[in-house]
Structure 1
Amino acid sequence: MLLRFAAENVMSFKNAVEFNTFPSSKSHSHEWHKMDCGYVTALRMSAIYGANGAGKSNLLKCIALLKSLVGAEKMGEADIAEDLYFKLDENGKNTPSELAVEFFTEGKIFYYHLRFNRQEVFEEELLLSQKSKDIRIFSRKDNDINVSGDYLRPGGKDDFIEVFMNAMNRIVRPDMLALSFFGKYYPEELPAVKEAYDWIRRLQVVLPTMRIGYLPHVLDGDSEFAELVNSIMPELKTGITKLGVRKEILNEDEVRGNTTMTKAINAAKEHPGTPQMLMETHNNEISNIVVEDGVPYIKTLIAVHTNYNGDDVEMKMDMESDGTRRLIEYMPLLYAILKRDNVFVVDEIERSIHPIMIKTLMSKISENRDAKGQIIFTTHESCLLDQSIFRPDEIWFAQKDVDQSTQLYPLSDYNIHKTANIENGYLNGRYGGIPFLSNLSDLKW
């Protein structure tokens, strides 16, 4: 579970700004949304609103950036396109950016903090959060790294610890994260660091340009998932009565010369049982290539409609609307949130989807009292501002300050009655987070 995330001097965040999932003492609805995380409690849903350009997407981009940095061998591989500092302050260029995250995993609460720029890490630390006093697992200042002997598995061997740390200070370069290095290369020596590393790597960040492309393979191999999907699809009234998979043995001679297909086939052979994504490259369909029992298969997603005679009619996915395809891509996300302790961070969750459909989807997650996962998303869709779906402390707003920096605050900062129509209040500007436009008559419109 994600507990807190903070950013400073990065993108549109000038001073340190924090987003958190802690419940407010003012909010008492949807008690089943509260999840025990050691000595604290976290909420499993969060919706972030804001005007265009207010910076709500930047919060999610910062989370994606942290995941990318942790997953990279060195900072240059994280594909940072340009300097990230807050560019509307002349002091920002000479000040490092900072990201911090607190999360719950494996029965522990970790806090990870990073101070950096595009080329190097200046400070880094991983703490084990405790109710009374936090415990430092490792800390780093420039290239001086210190690891607590209590968290080094061969504990009690002072000579080993000294040799280990001397080696680390020579090996870990300025453009490498110590968390990544320890998590990848020393998981047995530093198991607590590996747990934190794995959690950040498992974070599921879904930006508008990303596609979820393993659906055919999952639908084919997981009957419980297929049952859930096909119980929900008819309710969404897209015309699809169920989703299916067309599974065919792949004839390699027929695709010889197709670079994309050949590359996917070779990757599937190297990793049997692991699907290779073919998004809109095989006859504009959603397909996976996977090798099972030594045989290469192509699995293609199909939509089944019912005609006026009650007969099933299969249709290719390129015949479905963008909104329908987007809904279908959300099915693995929905399943993972209901069944597993995954954390999903989704930007523009309503993109191309009708308000009633996205409201139905969010209601399914909200109403399920056994859901194990967490979802945090940005949206402009005001129909989701409904107290039957969200608690006031699960709704956040992004707004630009006078210096054009992004500020974040929850709806629970206001006194919200449980019967209040928060959608109307939001659209009337009562809580902020909306665009304030010039008077069009003054512009002679």
Structure 2
Amino acid sequence: MKKSRKAMIIRFVLENIFSFGERKEFNTLPNNRLKTLESHKYDVGDFHLLKLSALYGANGAGKSNLFKAMFLLQKLVLDQKIPFPLKESQFKFNKGKDIPQLLAVEFIQEGTPFYYGIELIGERVATEELYISGLGYQKDRLLFDRKTDKNENTTIQYADEFQNDEKFRLLNSILLEEFVEPKQPVLKLLANRDNKFLADVKNAFRWFSETLQIITPSSRPMALAHRIDVDSEFKHYAEDMMCSFNLGIASLTTEKSPIEEFFGKDNENELNELIKRVEESPKKMVGVRIRTGDEINLVKENGEIWAKSLKVGHKGKDGVEVKFDLIDESDGTIRLLDFVPAFKSVISEPKVFMIDEIERSIHPLLIKELVKKFSHDPKTKGQLIFTTHESNLLDQELFRQDEIWFAEKNQDGATDLYSLSDFKEHKTIDIRKGYLNGRYGSIPFLGNFKDLNWHEYVTQQEPTL
């Protein structure tokens, strides 16, 4: 199979977690009957994947839970421990504590398709498996299959060529005896081994550590000050993008000073702790939040540690430019700054960006233009997947029908996932109008709201302040 795209997501499967009861799947596979927006189909050899997906749903329908589950799967893999939100996160209407929770993802990394799945029972990693996926055309090829029983005994099965190698068998016995823990996944542990048999495992791990990028509603711009300081091309791109939003922004600059000068020497213990964090970080850089709310990048360069902060330039009526701290900017401006590196990456690199509530704090017309820019660009390389309530984006000139997904609670209180392409609508129909009229479900049911008599609960005059 030829491989022209290096890194993408194919599907995400989850079961018995948050609002998902029965097994549900989200995927980026195109519907073959649809012939619109052909440029949205990335060629990955013998099949195609879509570059854009939007997930709609009423408040409480569970659309953000899909992203939350992927975010926690990523943390589970990278941190090698079960994140706190995953504990006690079973679907509440399921009875019994021994029902497994499944998180599984099929993806492509460096041209190789993988399937990685993990099952949790309580805080035990009951099953963890990694395969090179056959994509339905060939047989899947085992890389490892880990089992941990209720007595917390762990075994790992590998492909025959692994298990027949004496040195690898010795390595595996050491890992099982000294490193493998019942509550921890082993993907990162195996990926960090310098062994020829684990090259594919290392490659699969990079999808979680490098390719997958998740932006939550509470995300703040990360490492922008440093990148603008050292990358002139990115600085010009960031300024052009922010200026095009017509927010009154004239420039983006970095203010830089030695760490001792920035924080002062009054609290030597705190200063030493920050220096230690920088020295121990793989990239010699950490982000810290200071009392004003601004994030400062601490970076070691040329043997010295610097504190870098982002400054946003605005021009007044007399043309004089004044520098503002990030904390002085609106929530919408900060949210857009978070998108600057995201869109730079997703248009030029094979990255997977998942953005929860993409329209948060941003004007509807502005977010539509941003999505339109990505939709109509034939040279993009990454995938953009987001949740939204913004009905103005429901436009068949921006999306294929198989790129629009809905989340809706069923009668059992569980989240259901389905695509607009399931409805077989004509390519000229006004899908925004149909959505708002409830044609596809996934909207709030407001039938009883008009009957709410909220004055009934007012028993006395409210106190004045």
Confirm or deny: 8 A CA contact 2:258 2:304 kept in the other structure.
yes
In the alignment, is residue 149 of structure 1 matched against residue 160 of structure 2?
A: yes
- For residues 123-202 of structure 1, the aligned pairs below 5 Å read 123-130=127-134, 131-142=137-148, 143-150=154-161, 152=162, 158-171=165-178, 172-186=180-194, 188-202=196-210
Equivalent position SS for 1:380: coil
- For residues 81-120 of structure 1, the aligned pairs below 5 Å read 82-91=87-96, 93-120=97-124
Q: Closer, same or farther in 2 for the Cα pair 1:119/1:239, shift >3 Å?
A: same
Paired position in structure 2 for 1:79 = 84
In the alignment, is residue 304 of structure 1 matched against residue 330 of structure 2?
A: no
Paired position in structure 2 for 1:24 = 31
Paired position in structure 2 for 1:371 = 380
In 2, the alpha carbon distance for the partners of 1:267 and 1:301 equals: 21
In 2, the alpha carbon distance for the partners of 1:168 and 1:253 equals: 44
Q: Closer, same or farther in 2 for the Cα pair 1:74/1:273, shift >3 Å?
A: closer
Confirm or deny: 8 A CA contact 1:83 1:117 kept in the other structure.
no
Q: CA deviation at 1:79?
A: 2.7
Q: Closer, same or farther in 2 for the Cα pair 1:38/1:282, shift >3 Å?
A: farther
Letter in 2 for 1:48: L
Q: Closer, same or farther in 2 for the Cα pair 1:167/1:300, shift >3 Å?
A: closer
- For residues 13-412 of structure 1, the aligned pairs below 5 Å read 13-75=20-82, 78-80=83-85, 82-91=87-96, 93-130=97-134, 131-142=137-148, 143-150=154-161, 152=162, 158-171=165-178, 172-186=180-194, 188-202=196-210, 203-252=212-261, 255-258=264-267, 263-270=273-280, 274-279=284-289, 281=290, 283-412=292-421
Letter in 2 for 1:182: L
CA displacement 1:109-137 (0-9 Å, x = unmatched): 00111111242122221111122221112
Confirm or deny: 8 A CA contact 1:121 1:174 kept in the other structure.
yes
Q: Closer, same or farther in 2 for the Cα pair 1:249/1:273, shift >3 Å?
A: farther
**Range that drifts further, 63-72 or 174-183:** 174-183
Letter in 1 for 2:133: S
In 2, the alpha carbon distance for the partners of 1:272 and 1:174 equals: 27
Unmatched segments (≥5 aa) in structure 1:
none
Equivalent position SS for 1:305: strand
Equivalent position SS for 1:113: strand
Q: Closer, same or farther in 2 for the Cα pair 1:26/1:353, shift >3 Å?
A: same
In 2, the alpha carbon distance for the partners of 1:253 and 1:246 equals: 10
In 1, the alpha carbon distance for the partners of 2:292 and 2:147 equals: 53
Letter in 1 for 2:200: A
Q: Closer, same or farther in 2 for the Cα pair 1:97/1:241, shift >3 Å?
A: same
In 2, the alpha carbon distance for the partners of 1:245 and 1:33 equals: 37
CA displacement 1:260-287 (0-9 Å, x = unmatched): 66543443355596332133x1644343
Confirm or deny: 8 A CA contact 1:37 1:104 kept in the other structure.
no
Equivalent position SS for 1:330: helix
In 2, the alpha carbon distance for the partners of 1:278 and 1:318 equals: 14
Confirm or deny: 8 A CA contact 2:262 2:307 kept in the other structure.
no
Confirm or deny: 8 A CA contact 1:50 1:433 kept in the other structure.
yes
Letter in 2 for 1:316: D
In 1, the alpha carbon distance for the partners of 2:233 and 2:307 equals: 21
Correspondent of 2:451 among 437, 442, 445: 442
CA displacement 1:227-266 (0-9 Å, x = unmatched): 2111111221211123222233444486223576654344
Letter in 1 for 2:307: I
**Range that drifts further, 375-384 or 364-373:** 364-373
Q: Closer, same or farther in 2 for the Cα pair 1:253/1:14, shift >3 Å?
A: closer
- For residues 422-437 of structure 1, the aligned pairs below 5 Å read 422-437=431-446
Letter in 2 for 1:315: F
In 1, the alpha carbon distance for the partners of 2:226 and 2:195 equals: 30
Q: What TM-score do the two structures reach when normalised by structure 2?
A: 0.87
Unmatched segments (≥5 aa) in structure 2:
1-7, 149-153, 455-465
Q: CA deviation at 1:299?
A: 1.9
Say what the alpha-carbon RMSD is for the aligned residues. Answer: 2.3
**Range that drifts further, 187-196 or 331-340:** 187-196
In 1, the alpha carbon distance for the partners of 2:437 and 2:330 equals: 33
Q: Closer, same or farther in 2 for the Cα pair 1:254/1:392, shift >3 Å?
A: closer
The sequence identity of aligned pairs, in percent, is: 40
Letter in 2 for 1:125: E
Q: CA deviation at 1:54?
A: 0.6
In 1, the alpha carbon distance for the partners of 2:160 and 2:86 equals: 38
Confirm or deny: 8 A CA contact 1:272 1:291 kept in the other structure.
no
Confirm or deny: 8 A CA contact 1:242 1:304 kept in the other structure.
yes
Q: Closer, same or farther in 2 for the Cα pair 1:35/1:254, shift >3 Å?
A: closer
Q: What TM-score do the two structures reach when normalised by structure 1?
A: 0.91
**Range that drifts further, 375-384 or 286-295:** 286-295
Q: CA deviation at 1:165?
A: 4.3
